[in-house]
Amino acid sequence: MSVDVPVVIAGAGATGATLALLLARRGIPSIVVERRSAPLTHPAAHVINARTLEIWREIDPALSAEIAALAPPLDEVNLIRWQGSFDSRPIGHIDLASRPEQLDRVRSHSDYLVSHVGQHLLMPVLWSWLDREPLVEVRYGTSVAGICERDESVVVHTSGAGGDGATLQARFAIGADGANSAVRDIVGVEMHGPTLAKMGSAFFRCDTLYPASERPLLTWIYQPSFAGVLIAHADRHYVLMGTYLLPAQRMSREPDAYWRDTLPAVLGADHEYDIVSTGTWEMTTRTADTFRRGRVLLAGDAAHRFPHTGGYGLNSGVQDAHNLAWKLEAVLSGIAEPTLLDTYEVERRPIVDLFARHSVANHFQLDDVTRHVGATNRMLQRATSAMSRPPLAWLPDDRAAALADRVVGLGLGRTRVIAGTGRRAVRARDRMASDIPGQLAHFVSTGLEFGYRYGGPLTDGRGGEAKDDGLDDVVEYRPCTDPGGRLPHSILPATGESVLCSVARDPNALTLVTFDGDAWKTAVEKHRDDLSPLRVDVLDLGPAADTVDLYQVGERGALLVRADGHIVWRSTAGADDAVEDAVATVRRLWGKYFPLDRAR
Domain boundaries, the chain: 2-71+117-192+286-343, 75-112+195-284+366-452, 457-590
DSSP 566: B
- Protein fold of 457-590: Glutaredoxin (3.40.30)
Quick: pLDDT tens for 4-44.
899 999 999 999 999 999 999 999 999 999 999 988 878 88
Chain mean position to CA 379:
28
Cα–Cα dist 383/380, whole Å: 5
| 204 phi, psi to nearest 5 deg | -145, 165
The answer to whether the pTM exceeds 0.85 is yes
Give whichever of 90-99, 224-233, 561-570 has the largest mean pLDDT: 561-570
Q: Which residues pair with 4 in a beta bridge?
A: 169
Q: What is the mean pLDDT of residues 572-587?
A: 96
Greatest mean pLDDT among 90-94, 230-234, 279-283, 559-563 lies in 559-563
Q: State whether the Cα torsion 114-116-119-121 is positive or negative.
A: negative
Closest CA to 173 of 293, 3, 35: 293
Please answer whether residues 130 and 25 qualify as being in contact, where contact means their C-beta atoms are separated by less than 8 angstroms.
Answer: no
Digit-coded pLDDT (tens) for 419-471? 888 899 899 999 999 999 989 888 888 888 999 999 999 998 764 444 444 45
For 469-474, the CB contacts below 8 A with 24+ separation are: 469/350, 469/354, 469/357, 470/350, 470/351, 470/354, 471/354, 471/447, 472/447, 473/447, 474/358, 474/441, 474/445, 474/447, 474/448
pLDDT digits (tens, 9 = 90+) for 100-110: 888 888 899 99
Sheet holding 237-244, edge to edge: 92-95, 79-83, 218-223, 226-233, 237-244, 195-205, 274-284
Amino acid of residue 554: G
3-state secondary structure of 324: helix
Mean pLDDT of 124-153: 95
Per residue in 382-392, pLDDT (tens digit) is: 999 998 889 98
Find residue 491's DSSP bridge partners: 498
CA distance 174 to 128: 21
Give percent of the chain with pLDDT exceeding 70. 97
Q: What is the pLDDT of residue 468?
A: 42
Q: Please compute the mean of the pLDDT values over residues 500-512 and round it to a whole number.
A: 97
Integer angstrom CA distances of residue 349 from 12, 175, 288, 352: 22, 16, 10, 5
pLDDT at 568 over 50: yes
Secondary structure in 3-state letters for 148-195: EECCCCEEEEEEECCCCCCEEEEEEEEECCCCCCHHHHHCCCCEECCE
Q: Phi, psi (5° rounding) for residue 124?
A: -60, -35
pLDDT band for position 472 (50/70/90)? Answer: low
Average pLDDT score over residue span 557-568: 97
pLDDT digits (tens, 9 = 90+) for 248-293: 999 999 999 999 999 999 999 999 999 999 999 999 999 999 999 9
**pLDDT of amino acid 213:** 73
Instruction: For the chain, give the mean pLDDT.
Output: 92
**Spatial distance between the Cα atoms of 329 and 508, rounded to a whole number of angstroms:** 9
79, pLDDT greater than 70: yes
Rg over CA atoms, the chain:
26
pLDDT of amino acid 102? 80
Alpha carbon 479 to its chain's center: 20
Answer yes or no: are the C-beta atoms of 79 and 94 closer than 8 Å.
yes
Q: Which residues contact 419 (CB under 8 A, 6 or more apart)?
A: 84, 85, 88, 425
Q: What pLDDT is stored for residue 1 in this prediction?
A: 57
Residue 142 pLDDT > 50, yes or no?
A: yes
Q: Burial letters for 258-273: b for 16+ Cβ neighbours within 10 Å, e otherwise?
A: bbbebbeebbeeeeeb
CA–CA dist 540, 529 (Å, integer): 22
Are 525 and 533 a contacting pair, CB within 8 Å?
no
Is pLDDT of 162 > 70? no
Q: Is 292 helix (H, G, I), strand (E, B) or coil?
A: strand
Cα separation, 492 vs 498, whole angstroms: 6
Distance CA 350, CA 345 (A): 8
Please say if the pLDDT value at position 480 is more than 60.
yes
What is the chain's length? 600
CATH topology of domain 75-112+195-284+366-452: D-Amino Acid Oxidase; Chain A, domain 2 (3.30.9)
535 strand-pairing partners: 509
| CATH top-level class of 2-71+117-192+286-343 | alpha beta
Closest CA to 500 of 56, 48, 133: 56
Angle in degrees, 0-180, between the axes of helices 575-590 and 517-526, rounded to the nearest 10: 50
Around Cβ 254, how many Cβ atoms within 10 Å? 13
**Do 208 and 44 meet the contact criterion of CB atoms below 8 Å apart?**
no
Measured CA to CA in angstroms, residue 518 lies from 155, 419, 541, 543, 572 at distances of 50, 70, 11, 11, 16
In terms of C-beta density within 10 A (0-12 exposed, 13-18 middle, 19 or more buried), how is residue 462 classed? exposed
For residue 599, the model assigns a pLDDT of 38
Give the Cα separation of 324 and 326 in Å (integer). Answer: 6
pLDDT at 267: 95
| Domain pair 75-112+195-284+366-452 / 457-590, same fold | no
Helix axes 119-132, 14-25, angle to 10 degrees: 30
Spatial distance between the Cα atoms of 367 and 192, rounded to a whole number of angstroms: 25
* Residues 153-178, mean pLDDT to the nearest whole number: 89
